[in-house]
Amino acid sequence: MRVMVFGAQSHIGFAICEKLLGEGIEVCGVFLDSSSKMRKLLLEERMLLIGRNALFHELTLDHEWRNIEATHVIYCKEKSHNQDQLCFEKSVETAVETKSRYFYVAPDLRQIEEDDQYLTSTLESYTLFKLPGLYGPFQPPEEKIHQHLKSCVAGQKNILIIKEPIIFITDAAETIVEIIEKGDYQKVYSFLCEQKDETIESVSVEVKMNAKETESGGYRIMNKTSMEKGLLEQISCIKMYREIYGLDS
């Protein structure tokens, strides 16, 4: 198995790469240009965590990969990136040329309708992963959970109320890779997480779930990581890279 991950620089994209490599699967990660100095520095740190790995190949959209025989193509959407549309088109083009299985990973469900229509008209089959919000180490700095945890590290006393379902980044990546490895494909996997109202005093977070979260018809993912543990891991990441995040300035 050789997997090409388009949008490997994204929060979920890099986590999928890490999980695939952990399973001994060859990965070609297609990275988009870093949109800021902070993102570039954080990506460099994440690459150091992978280290030298013969199974991992780092590519950009400028690389020529027509000789790469991929078995699976995974596209991870990052709508805020100015190269995202080109990345999407390249991923579909590669899947057609290599006759690979195609997987579309969508962290933001509001942005996929047009892409879904294009996939239906272009590919014979594909799998769509619809994800709720994601949190955990290396969460994009503009996300509200990151902003809250950063303020906690800085000693500010704020309370964050979470009203939307969220999944720890590693749990989401592991579930996606498990589905791909099993070959148990279907057209759409809508991830639903089992969460309950709780107060997490250690990170000043209140979780308030409503009844809509229990909708049927989705792919229910059990939270292997408790929310408190996941948030504390994210805080540890912020502390480790506090200089990059601007906490020492």
Q: Tens digits of per-residue pLDDT, 103-139?
A: 999 876 666 878 888 999 999 999 999 998 999 999 9
Work out the mean pLDDT of the chain and round it to a whole number: 90
pLDDT value at residue 210: 64
**Tokens 């089959």, residue located:** 125
d(CA 39, CA 245): 10
Q: Tokens standing for 154?
A: 């800085």
The packing angle between helices 227-240 and 144-153, to 10°, is 60
Which domains occur in the chain, in start order?
A: 2-135+166-192+214-223 (3.40.50.720)
% of residues, the chain, pLDDT over 90: 69
Please check whether residue 223 is in contact with residue 171, taking contact to mean a CB–CB distance below 8 angstroms.
yes
The total of other beta-carbon atoms located within 10 Å of residue 196's CB is 9
d(CA 131, CA 183): 19
d(CA 27, CA 30): 10
Q: At 153, is the pLDDT very low, low, confident or very high (cuts 50, 70, 90)?
A: very high
pLDDT value at residue 211: 46
**Which of the pair, 229 or 165, is modelled with greater confidence?**
229
| 39-43, 147-151, 214-218: least confidently modelled range | 214-218
Q: At 206, is the pLDDT very low, low, confident or very high (cuts 50, 70, 90)?
A: very high
H or E segment and range at residue 219: strand 219-221
Counting every residue, how long is the chain? 249
pLDDT tens column, 34-90: 878 999 999 999 999 898 899 999 999 988 766 788 999 999 998 888 999 999 999
% of residues, the chain, pLDDT over 70: 93
220: which residues sit within 8 A by CB, 6+ positions away? 191, 192, 193, 194
